[in-house]
Structure 1
């Protein structure tokens, strides 16, 4: 994409959606506590106090990943690592070629919302939810959850992050991840773990299941993640093409094998 197009899509349009979310959320919240249909066409249980929820409802994240998921034309499995309230798991379930969704969301309150959203939209029979985080060790750790923005929950220990509380979650590493991804179909993986992307990718690379991963859509924030380190890990696992979506210090990348 050209720089002008990127500026329009990821600068002007995204900012406008954020402003719209801030302005209209109080109005919509006052209408009741029934399910809310998002800009992506999926239903979600109301959670208006949460910025992540508002971004889901007003389409602030744009259509890059949603278009990729809906555009898959061959049977596949979607693996949602850092699922939060489940937006992309719900979108993937709209594609009949998506035979299974495997979602990882370790924060108990957020996981409960994920489960409720899956129940609202159908497709629960092909969705497997794990209240687990993928890390380089097995055990219990405390995750930082920012008040009012569940999408920033992180194990990465970002400097200067405040305004949240600690929640104990369960972590698993590659040997325990592998059986959870067992199967034969190709996999499309989304990773959004707020700075721990390289750790998750390193663990995924140790599994037998990685051979079935055809694409990984992951978040990069240059303030606490190294794009070069992540790309090096992926190239070592056979990924050769990297398409950038976004601009500035915070963007997404689609890694594919060919």
Structure 2
């Protein structure tokens, strides 16, 4: 045996002719089928194309923008209208509240005025009654003055004295001019008004009027003052019998006092 008898061959075995013929037939059949299918396809078939999205045109964008602007303008107009209506309603409410406060204030003022008139009528009635009594009895003080002679207030003096005495017990209020509260000059001014005489409002102006009289020669209706005549700080009305009526201070109110309780600095006579 030769040395190469047992070495296998590395060559691939040749395919048999029958297998090659079979494969050729299969390939030819496939190609024939493709040819037939191509011939059977319609000649006018449309080629397949890709679909693309349509982009909006400039005209449609303008229309949308105009619509948005119009809607925004309408919304702004509606908001402005709502704000205007709200402002009008607020103004109407404020005016109604103001009118109500004004009406209440006017009603309160009328009520106070009516109350003051009622009190004035009552005081006038009391004053008239006192004046009538003074006229029928020739008003004489129960006591004598420093000179020992009896004092009689008649006419205008009687009206002044009667009014002053009618206010005894009223309150003292700085700046008060009645009808229920007074300061010293307010009471003197109101008392002299009963006699148709208008006096200044301030005490030192009142004591500067008329003629100066001695404290030993006083008559009912004379104005007493404390301090200097041109610079008095307090005034009162001499009512006869060595007494005077004045709005003293907040603790005492309007009182009737003897001259020696708080001797005045001087006196003036207006009547």
Q: Greater share of helix residues, 1 or 2?
A: 2
Q: Same fold (TM over 0.5)?
A: no
Q: Which has the larger radius of gyration?
A: 2
TM-score normalised per structure 2: 0.26
TM-score normalised per structure 1: 0.27
Q: Greater share of strand residues, 1 or 2?
A: 1
